[in-house]
Amino acid sequence: MPEVISLGEMMVMFVATDIGPLRSAVTFEKHVAGAEANVAIGLARLGHSAGWISRLGDDEFGRYILTFLRGEGVDVSHVELDPEAPTGVAFKERREVGPRRVIYYRRGSAASRMTPAILDREYLRTARYLHLTGITTALSPSCHETVRAAMRLARDLGVLVSFDPNIRLQLRPAAEWRTVLTDLLPLCDLVLPGRDEATLITGEEDPERAARAILAYGPRLVVVKLGAEGALAVTPETAVHVPGVRLPRIVDPVGAGDGFAAGFLAGQLRGFDLPQSLRLANTVGAMAMTVLGDVEGLPTWREVQEFSVEQDVRR
């Protein structure tokens, strides 16, 4: 049974092959995208068992996603197919410099119709971690309630709750994000914000002070992603900083945070201490940025070892 179970949305993403705004794009490549499923894929590639709970449209894109996840070794036995609602779709532009615009068509999707009824107590009982993100809370009121119910159920079962805020200001304003997240933090064991997310939640600019403010809500561990500067893990007793991995070039930054989460959880599952888990998380997150697409750059355990050796040689 899965060591880590994630719950959330997955979409089909079409990435423009032409450089420039989407209005000028003519051809696209098909990919998959979804933060929680990305983490499950990352863990599976690193040698861990992972499951994903969600709803997909009973359509060609939904079946494509199921086939893709099965091929990656992710358990999809608790994914429901909805004959009345579609699988979400997104379109992403390609640019050589600056941010890349993504347009989402997810309103009324099958995933947005998730309710707490999708949760299986006996299935969740088998996991060591339940991984969730803030994105799902913003898809619909029923999705918000599903995330909250999943956290409560995991707590009841003794399953650790891992939570990445994954704040998307396109989905709700900052003030609303702060309210929603501070309500959920007491139900979390591990929180994985980016530096800006930690500041938005707490108002603290300093990453360690922000992490300690989040700890005050109840989590046992806060890991702040610092981009090129690495990551900072903070517990009530200690703070550990590990520098980032230097890359000669970033191909696509999307998916780095999900890779980081997969790497950190893999380290914890393997019994690594905080510095070792942070180094693994930094490495997986960095490798995710070397390839176009959300999941294409997520490495296997062997690839992590080879990449780490290569990094040591360059130093």
Task: Return the active site residues.
Answer: 258
d(CA 79, CA 124): 14
State the helix-helix crossing angle for 256-269 and 274-288, rounded to 10 degrees: 150
Q: What does the H/E/C string look like for 5-55?
A: EEECCCEEEEEEEEEECHHHCCCEEEEEECHHHHHHHHHHHCCCCEEEEEE
Q: Which residues contact 67 (CB under 8 A, 6 or more apart)?
A: none
Type of residue numbered 312: D
Counting Cβ atoms within 10 Å, is residue 38 exposed (0-12), middle (13-18) or buried (19+)?
buried
Phi and psi (nearest 5°) for 310?
-65, -40
Residues 275-281: contacts with CB within 8 Å, 24+ apart?
275/240, 275/242, 277/233, 278/223, 278/230, 278/231, 278/233, 278/240, 278/242, 279/242, 280/304, 281/223, 281/231
